[in-house]
A and B are shown apart, each in its own frame.
Chain A
Amino acid sequence: MSPAAPADGAPANDIFTTDDDVIRVRDLHLNFYTTIGTVRALNGVTFNIPRGKVLGVVGESGCGKSQTGLAIMQLTPSVGKYEGGTIEFRESPNTETPVNILSLGKNSDQMRAIRGNNISMIFQEPMTSLNPVFTVGSQIEEAILLHQTKDKAEARQRAVSILEKVGMPNPERIADSYPHQLSGGMRQRAMIAMALSCTPVLLIADEPTTALDVTTEAQILDLMRGLQAEYGTSIMFITHNMGVVAQMCDEVAVMYLGRVIERASIDDIFYNPKHPYTIMLLRSIPRLGAERADKLESIHGSVPDPYSRVTGCPFHLRCPAAMAGICDVTMPAETMIGERHSVRCHLYL
């Protein structure tokens, strides 16, 4: 029995809270009401992103990591309904009271002033995330004209310079190109340029390199890391690739079935993982120099059907350490087990 807050709720003593969190997500619930059933996409998601840090959000497909990112932008599809929780956004260290994003209307002026200006997003598919009928330059200028300046020549000039910043050769020409004339890697650079064009406080990158080949991926990650250092932008880096996490992130939140099940610094995640799911995720990465005898492991089974509800810990169906009568009955509360390390598992209660 946990003495703390309700099992699904946010812990009262959240050790991750800092004085200057860009984003504080608390107990976020999101349901999708579709014609063939209700999908419980997020079931109490809680995490913080401290200013200037990169938080990796990892998990398998369908665990809710992308929906969490979209929720911060309020870009959830219309069948989705927020059933509780808060998302607090703090624009600058001097901000008196943070804004609760969920209290703003989806298409309200305040929300739109944040979107693309203070918080921007890069999507997984560079091939489809640029509008095919407009030039790359005009699509970048659109955001600048909306948030930064009314002067078209200036917007153009800023678009070209940001394209140069993201490592585009011949940025003038690229600005006049249509997306289909660019390669996948170039398009993702253009997307990054668009996302950074208004120098946002927070960048949400939803699997930005998944669709790219390995060399391009490395270049893009380098670029993001460099720009992050230069601008001090906080990044929420959504990925399923632990290798990318190791390269990019300061802290990690591991998600499973719409919940954060382990939060830790990058070192703790890799050297001291606690949740059986995290441990198995790490074991499934091939490593150079590993002993031949160490077999690559896979996690048994797959993520349960999203329309169903699992009793107890959502992972107990696949967990090698599951304890009958406990794990399949009760949802474990979040336990703080280190300086910046928490886990939701009965093994550590």
Chain B
Amino acid sequence: MATVARPLDIGKKAKKLEDVGQLPQWKLMVRRFRKSKLSVAALFVLLFIYVITALSDFLAPYPHDVIDTDNVFAAPSRIVSGPNGLGIYGIKQVLNQELFKWEYQTDTSVIHPLKFFVQGFEYRFLGLIPMNVHLFGIERAPGSDPTAPEPRIFLWGADREGRDVFSRVMKGSQISMSLGFIGVLISVVIGTLVGTSSGYFGGRLDNLIQRLVELVQSFPDLPLFLALAAALPPNVPVIQRFLLITVIIGLIGWTGLSRQVRGKVLAFRSADYTSAAKAAGASNWHIITKHMVPNVMSHVIVVAMLAIPAAIGTETALSFLGLGILPPAVSWGLMLRDASSVQAAITYPWLLIPVGVLLIVVLAFNLLGDGVRDAVDPYA
């Protein structure tokens, strides 16, 4: 008895613990990231939302900008089970005798059936393949009053011009989910390049860049955003405006990152491996791309992850103030303009649905960024 060491941990668990020291860096990062359940959940939420964004035209039953005066502020449709499967009730025009006004009432005698994979408006699937099939749509119930307005389904209600909120959220995702992302991408590329060259080459270039950074940082963020956005010509095509707003977001955000990258590069520049590479005759380009950039990359990724939700917020704010995305395009921020009047938001609460969607996306990006930071740099 006395000679036997303590009982050993055998089996899977011990085996798994054994090789931690031998794992490559990225595997440890993945393992640490997976420890944070919330961040993993956030990652899946975002992937799900991006899939929906990719399929948004297919999922949306109607074009986002079709005005329908018959359905102003229509409440979300109730899906009921009818004789021919699922469907929605019809509506009928009733004269309000007191106000002498036509009003619409639910007509429970008619159920318009819900159909899947129906034909609808034309779009390009994934931006490439022309298609007109949509996931769902409503067909006029056979035998119903043909003079009644065309039945439409409003999963999330309609806005003050009778536009389908669900279709608009779908369409808006294309801008809202990409604009912040691309804007951050631009600022990350600029910030990394400028910061690396500033730190690596030093001297007059560094001095010049630092003065420039100082100047850009002398502008407060939001007022500068607003001034630049207001300076954009109002009647350019949708795509062009989208790109211009993206560039504005990208052009302002790089300064902070470039300073951080510069600081890191300054430290790496005097590191032994850089001297070794120089002694071995490596070119500046080689040292920058092989030694500097990979070393700052983890920091850059973390900063970028946490900058995306901020950029999404900026787009929302600009569009909300009427200085960002303009109609006929649609983004979630633009949709919130409709909800900005408290009275409207209280009477037609479905107008606040974009708030919820936006909140989920921004929260998910924040949680993801936090998890990535902890995984990449557990000591920070």
Contact = CB atoms under 8 A, between A and B. Distances in A.
Interface of A: 1-8, 35-38, 305-309, 311-312, 330-331, 333
Contacts, number: 52
30 contacts: A2-B3, A4-B2, A5-B2, A6-B1, A6-B2, A7-B2, A7-B5, A8-B5, A8-B6, A35-B35, A36-B32, A37-B20, A38-B17, A305-B18, A305-B19, A305-B20, A305-B22, A306-B21, A307-B17, A307-B18, A307-B21, A308-B14, A308-B21, A309-B8, A309-B9, A309-B14, A330-B3, A330-B4, A331-B5, A333-B2
Contacts of B19: 305
Nearest to A331: B5
Interface in B1-56: 1-6, 8-9, 14, 17-22, 28, 31-32, 35
B5 A307 contact: no
A311 B14 CA distance: 12
Nearest first, the 3 A-B pairs at minimum CB distance are: A305-B21, A331-B5, A37-B17
A348 to B, nearest CB: 15
Interface residues on B, range: 10 to 19
Contacts of B28: 36
A3 B3 CA distance: 9
Given A308-B21, A330-B3, 8 more contacts: A3-B2, A7-B3, A36-B35, A305-B18, A305-B21, A307-B18, A308-B18, A311-B8
Given A305-B20, A307-B17, A36 B31 contact: yes
A295 to B, nearest CB: 27
B36 to A, nearest CB: 10
Nearest to A5: B2
Contacts of B8: 309, 311
A36 B20 contact: yes
B8 to A, nearest CB: 6
A37 B20 CA distance: 9
A331 B21 CA distance: 24
Contacts of A6: 1-2
Contacts of B3: 1-2, 7, 330-331, 333
Contacts of A8: 5-6
Contacts of B14: 308-309
Contacts of B17: 37-38, 307-308
Contacts of B2: 1-7, 333
A7 B5 CA distance: 7
A309 B32 CA distance: 22
Contacts of A2: 2-3
Quick one: which of B18, B22, B31 has the most chain A CB within 10 A?
Answer: B18
A84 B2 CA distance: 18
A82 to B, nearest CB: 16
A331 B7 CA distance: 12
A330 B18 contact: no
Quick one: which of A6, A36, A38 has the most chain B CB within 10 A?
Answer: A36
B325 to A, nearest CB: 43
Contacts of A333: 2-3
Nearest to B36: A35
A189 to B, nearest CB: 29
A309 B7 CA distance: 10
Contacts of A4: 2
Contacts of B35: 35-36
A112 B31 CA distance: 39
Contacts of A306: 21
B85 to A, nearest CB: 51
Nearest to B22: A305
A37 to B, nearest CB: 4
A311 B6 CA distance: 9
A311 B19 CA distance: 16
Nearest to A34: B20
Contacts of A331: 3, 5
